[in-house]
């Protein structure tokens, strides 16, 4: 149990990758703050699952595209658990929209949650990390933040921003024993990309399989959790500013 007695915030953890990560960190011994923005029942189900497995968790509602909500989330988690050791910036949104159809609202939605929310969550936990003498941040970029994709310019911009933001934060905060790194997932089956995997998308799924060395069109959410657990632990003490590809070899 590499994370025994640690407290972790996992944003957007009522479903998908965030849910799997929260459960993995709990199995590693961490007490986990389950963050969600809308679905209280789903968040409470994640908490119940963690507790049933012998772990500790509590749900906290906050919109991570809103700076005031982010500050309140961190304050509440700190008050409830007395410390914050790990921040996993997983909350995000993904829209497949061509350049000509990308509205200001679509642009802002993705930049605000994926990029702005990541930065201000890190800023909000800094006082806790500094008081404790260090901490771990794991951001979520994407293969779309390393290489480009058509029909999602705002998403690519937001995730590319997360990649460079991760390096910028690491270069500034490493001297304070604060590790800032990022995961760059490949295609992972989650609720936010279900519209690409349903009936009628057979040609797209075949293309994804052909582009991936393993032949898998989409990975499972659990495939992301080992990398996050590693970067959240003291095993990654010397790792700063890494964008870790977990992509089934896509970028290779």
Q: So which residues are the catalytic ones? A: 155
Torsional class of 177: left (φ above 0), alpha (ψ -120 to 50), beta (otherwise): left
In angstroms, the CA 13 to CA 19 distance is 4
CB 144 within 8 A of CB 158: no
Nearest to 116 by CA among 124, 100, 173: 124
Whether the CB-CB separation of 32 and 55 falls below 8 Å is answered with yes
Residues 6+ away with beta carbon under 8 Å from 168: none
CA-derived radius of gyration, the chain: 17
């Amino acid at each position: 149990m590499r994370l025994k007695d640690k407290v972790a915030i996992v944003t957007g953890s009522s479903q998908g990758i965030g849910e799997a990560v929260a459960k993995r960190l709990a199995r590693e011994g961490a007490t986990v703050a389950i963050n969600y923005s809308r679905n209280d029942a789903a968040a409470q189900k994640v908490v119940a699952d963690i507790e049933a497995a012998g772990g500790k968790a509590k749900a906290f509602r906050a919109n991570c595209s809103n700076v005031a909500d982010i500050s309140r989330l961190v304050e509440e988690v700190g008050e409830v658990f007395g410390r914050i050791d790990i921040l996993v910036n997983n909350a995000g949104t993904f829209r497949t929209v061509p350049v000509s159809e990308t509205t200001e609202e679509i642009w802002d939605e993705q930049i605000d949650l994926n990029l702005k929310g990541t930065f201000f969550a890190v800023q909000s936990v800094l006082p806790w990390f500094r008081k404790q003498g260090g901490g771990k941040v794991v951001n979520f970029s994407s293969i779309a933040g390393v290489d480009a994709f058509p029909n999602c310019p705002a998403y690519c911009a937001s995730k590319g921003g997360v990649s460079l933001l991760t390096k910028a934060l690491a270069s500034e905060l490493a001297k304070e024993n604060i590790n800032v790194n990022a995961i760059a997932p490949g295609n992972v089956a989650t609720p936010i990309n279900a519209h690409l995997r349903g009936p009628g998308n057979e040609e797209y799924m075949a293309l994804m399989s052909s582009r991936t060395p393993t032949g898998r069109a989409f990975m499972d959410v659990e495939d992301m959790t080992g990398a996050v657990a590693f970067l959240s632990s003291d095993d990654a003490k010397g790792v700063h500013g890494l964008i870790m590809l977990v992509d089934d070899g896509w970028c290779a």
